[in-house]
Amino acid sequence: MSTPTDRKPSRPSGTPPEGNGKFLLGMIGLFFGVLLLGAGATMWLGGSSSMGPAIGGPFALTDTGGKPFTDKDLRGSYAVLYFGYTFCPDVCPTTLNQLAEALDRLGPKAKLVRPVFITIDPRRDTPGVMKQYVQAFSPDLIGLTGTEAQIGSVAREFRVYYAPHRTGDGPNDYTMDHSSVLYLIGPDGKFIAPLRADAGAEQIAADLSRHLP
Ligand code: NI
Residue 13 lies in a domain: no
Same domain for 30 and 65, yes or no, is no
* Distance from residue 23's CA to the centre of ligand 1 (Å): 42
With beta carbons less than 8 A apart as the criterion, state whether 54 and 191 touch. yes
Same domain for 38 and 64, yes or no, is no
Quick one: 94 exposed, middle or buried, by C-beta within 10 A (0-12, 13-18, 19+)?
Answer: middle
Residue 163 lies in a domain: yes
Provide the whole-model pTM: 0.77
Same domain for 142 and 206, yes or no, is yes
* Distance from residue 206's CA to the centre of ligand 1 (Å): 23
Segment 133-172, tens digit of pLDDT: 999 999 999 999 999 999 999 999 999 999 999 999 999 9
Same domain for 42 and 93, yes or no, is no
* Distance from residue 137's CA to the centre of ligand 1 (Å): 15
Residue 6 lies in a domain: no
* Distance from residue 201's CA to the centre of ligand 1 (Å): 17
Same domain for 44 and 75, yes or no, is no
Domain that holds residue 40: 19-48
pLDDT at 34 over 90: no
Same domain for 127 and 164, yes or no, is yes
Between 186 and 4, name the one with better pLDDT: 186
The CA distance from 83 to 92, in Å, is 8
**Residue range 117-137: average pLDDT?**
98
Same domain for 71 and 143, yes or no, is yes
Containing H/E element for 201? Answer: helix 201-211
* Distance from residue 26's CA to the centre of ligand 1 (Å): 38
* Distance from residue 88's CA to the centre of ligand 1 (Å): 4
Between 11 and 128, name the one with better pLDDT: 128
Residue 55 lies in a domain: no
Same domain for 165 and 75, yes or no, is yes
Phi, psi of 16 (to 5 degrees): -65, 140
The CA distance from 156 to 138, in Å, is 27
The CA distance from 131 to 47, in Å, is 31
Residue 144 lies in a domain: yes
Same domain for 91 and 178, yes or no, is yes
pLDDT-based confidence at residue 2 (cuts at 50, 70, 90): very low
Residue 184 lies in a domain: yes
Tally of domains within the chain: 2
> Burial letters for 158-180: b for 16+ Cβ neighbours within 10 Å, e otherwise?
bebebeeeeeeeeeeebebebeb
- At 120, which CATH number? 3.40.30.10
* Distance from residue 192's CA to the centre of ligand 1 (Å): 23
Residue 108 lies in a domain: yes
